[in-house]
């Protein structure tokens, strides 16, 4: 199910996970453990996968990390986790991939940043990485970042711009150079021997307007699948909202084939938050469905009771707790919608739009809660068992509406 037509792209296979227009938009994440700490990295990869990450990137920044990659992969497979691992390389990727062949083959994709493959031997280093990718049949993400843009290209672009009769502003020159850097690197990779269906591009910036601009240009200039994300989105609410604001205009234009949300975890926070945010962005835009959505009103002076707030939360928790079982047994349940509303003003109307809805009584209404199923009045609930009764209606609806898988 995707509400928005996707841009047509090539298809890239990352160890069984397909990235490209016809395939579900893939959710990625990245660990923040020291890759040399095998135990901690395996644990975090598992957590990210359980949260819904379909590809996980790990940093490969030194020899100890490179030596650990095959062990991490083997332990994950032993524990039944077959998630593709992406190696994130900067500066020394050509050396590490060459010196540690078990690292090169254990990874399912390499991420390289053309601005960070060295300065003096930039092209030779880039060539070395691509040759290893070709020899091992491993796809590559060419990931440009405005914080580490190829300074040689940027300097040339700035010079050219300065000589124009009407120079562009410097942000536009940076955006153009990011696109140029990504496309040139992809062209070079193809010349070295990497086939075009082994390349994913990204061009990340940390500001929403520029992100929209750079990805629109990139999308219009190539058929490679695009890895989407706002880099360095920041902490908490700011990071979540900035990312949503930046990627949503692109997603509704069909741009983006895999998404990573780059949140800074709060001190006591969890890394898995970035996966949950990515899933919610995709589900809110009706690009993919992961779990039933609970619609609830904000509440107002018409309801002094906190019942509807507590009920909305309890119903959401109830659905989340049961989804591992329901999702396996009743395919399609992830598209179900449930409304929990505070009073008669919008309650019945919103409830009728959902598969299941309950309109709780406002502070001047009779203490009765009409329930709607598929837009029709189903029953009216009252009393202390109201929440449990509604849960029972949800469960019965799921069992009778979605086809039960055998086994
Ligand atoms: S549905 Fe009722 S309680 Fe909820 S916000 Fe609207 S008027 Fe207020």
DSSP state letters, 106-134: H-SEEEE-GGGS-STTHHHHHHHHHHHHH
pLDDT of residue 17: 98
- Least Cα distance to 147 among 224, 228, 230, 255 occurs for 230
Joined together, the tokens standing for residue 259 give 């998404």
Q: Residue 349's Cα: distance from chain center in Å?
A: 32
| Distance in Å from the first CA to the final CA of the chain | 26
Pocket test for ligand 1, best of 300, 305, 311, 364 (most atoms within 8 A of CB): 300
Pocket test for ligand 1, best of 297, 311, 349, 354 (most atoms within 8 A of CB): 297
| pTM for the model | 0.93
- Least Cα distance to 348 among 329, 325, 365 occurs for 365
| pLDDT tens string 280-322 | 999 999 999 999 999 999 989 998 667 888 999 999 999 999 9
- C-alpha to C-alpha distances, 236 to 94, 239, 266, 274, 316, nearest whole angstrom: 35, 5, 7, 10, 21
- Least Cα distance to 141 among 185, 103, 101, 173 occurs for 185
Q: Ligand 1 atom closest to Cα of 347?
A: 1
- The pLDDT profile of the chain, 407 residues, written as one tens digit per residue, is 567 899 999 999 999 999 999 999 999 999 999 999 999 999 999 999 999 999 999 999 999 999 999 999 999 999 999 999 999 999 999 999 999 999 999 999 999 998 888 667 778 999 999 999 999 999 999 999 988 888 888 999 999 999 999 999 988 999 999 999 999 999 999 999 999 999 999 999 999 999 999 999 999 999 999 999 999 888 999 999 999 999 999 999 999 999 999 999 988 889 999 999 999 999 999 999 999 999 999 989 998 667 888 999 999 999 999 999 999 999 999 999 999 999 899 999 999 999 999 999 988 888 899 999 999 999 999 999 999 999 999 999 999 999 887 75
Pocket test for ligand 1, best of 295, 307, 309, 347 (most atoms within 8 A of CB): 347
Q: Is 258:200 a contact under the CB 8 Å cutoff? A: yes
* Pairing of β 55-59 and β 26-30: parallel
Side-chain-side CA neighbours of residue 369 (13 Å): 24
Q: Ligand 1, atom 2: nearest CA belongs to which residue?
A: 343
- Least Cα distance to 341 among 379, 295, 291 occurs for 295
Q: Residue 28's Cα: distance from chain center in Å?
A: 5
DSSP string, 319-339: HHHHHHHHHHHSTTGGG-EEE
Which contiguous run of DSSP H or E holds residue 144?
strand 140-145
Q: Does domain 12-284 have CATH number 3.20.20.20?
A: yes
Ligand 1 pocket, residues with Cβ under 6 angstroms: 297-300, 302-303, 341-343, 345-347, 362
Domain spans of the chain, in order of start: 12-284, 293-401
Cα separation of 140 and 137, whole Å?
10
- The CATH architecture assigned to 293-401 reads 2-Layer Sandwich (3.30)
Q: Ligand 1 atom closest to Cα of 301?
A: 8
Side-chain-side CA neighbours of residue 228 (13 Å): 35
Whole-number Å distance, alpha carbon 369 to ligand 1 midpoint, is 14
Cα separation of 252 and 254, whole Å?
5
Which residue's structure tokens are 């890239």? 12
pLDDT of residue 354: 97
Whole-number Å distance, alpha carbon 310 to ligand 1 midpoint, is 15
Whole-number Å distance, alpha carbon 312 to ligand 1 midpoint, is 13
């Amino acid at each position: 199910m995707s509400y928005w037509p996707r841009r047509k792209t090539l298809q890239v296979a990352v160890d069984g996970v397909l990235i490209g227009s016809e395939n579900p938009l893939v959710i990625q994440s990245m660990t923040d453990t020291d890759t040399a700490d095998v135990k901690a990295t395996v644990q975090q990869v598992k957590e990210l996968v359980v949260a819904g990450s379909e590809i996980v990137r790990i940093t490969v920044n030194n020899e100890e990390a490179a030596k650990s990659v095959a062990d991490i992969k083997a332990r994950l497979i032993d524990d039944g986790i077959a998630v593709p691992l992406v190696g994130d390389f900067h500066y020394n990727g050509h050396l590490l991939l060459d010196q540690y062949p078990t690292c090169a083959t254990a990874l399912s994709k390499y991420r390289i940043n053309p601005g960070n493959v060295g300065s003096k031997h930039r092209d030779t280093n880039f060539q070395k990485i691509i040759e290893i990718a070709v020899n091992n049949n491993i796809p590559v993400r060419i990931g440009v970042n405005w914080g580490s843009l190829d300074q040689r290209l940027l300097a040339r672009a700035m010079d050219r711009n300065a000589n124009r009769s009407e120079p562009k502003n410097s942000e536009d020159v940076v955006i153009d150079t990011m696109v140029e850097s990504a496309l040139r690197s992809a062209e070079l990779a193809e010349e070295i021997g990497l086939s075009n269906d082994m390349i994913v591009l990204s061009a990340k910036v940390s500001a929403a307007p520029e992100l929209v601009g750079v990805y629109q240009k990139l999308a219009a200039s190539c058929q490679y699948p695009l890895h989407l994300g706002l880099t360095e989105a920041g902490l908490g609410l700011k990071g979540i909202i900035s990312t949503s604001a930046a990627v949503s205009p692109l997603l509704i234009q069909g741009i983006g084939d895999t998404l990573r949300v780059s949140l800074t975890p709060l001190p006591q926070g969890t890394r898995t938050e970035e996966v949950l945010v990515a899933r919610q962005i995709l589900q809110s835009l009706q690009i993919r469905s992961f779990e039933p959505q609970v619609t609830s009103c904000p509440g107002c002076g018409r309801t002094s009771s906190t019942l509807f707030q507590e009920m909305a939360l309890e119903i959401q928790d109830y659905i989340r707790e049961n989804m591992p079982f329901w999702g396996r047994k009743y395919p399609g349940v992830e598209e179900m919608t449930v409304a929990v509303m505070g009073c008669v003003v919008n309650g019945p109307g919103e409830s009728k739009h959902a598969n299941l809805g309950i309109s709780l009584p406002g502070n001047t209404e009779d203490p009765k809660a009409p329930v709607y199923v598929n837009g029709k009045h189903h029953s009216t609930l009252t009393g202390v068992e109201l929440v449990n009764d509604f849960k029972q209606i949800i469960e019965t609806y799921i069992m009778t509406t979605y086809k039960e898988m055998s086994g």
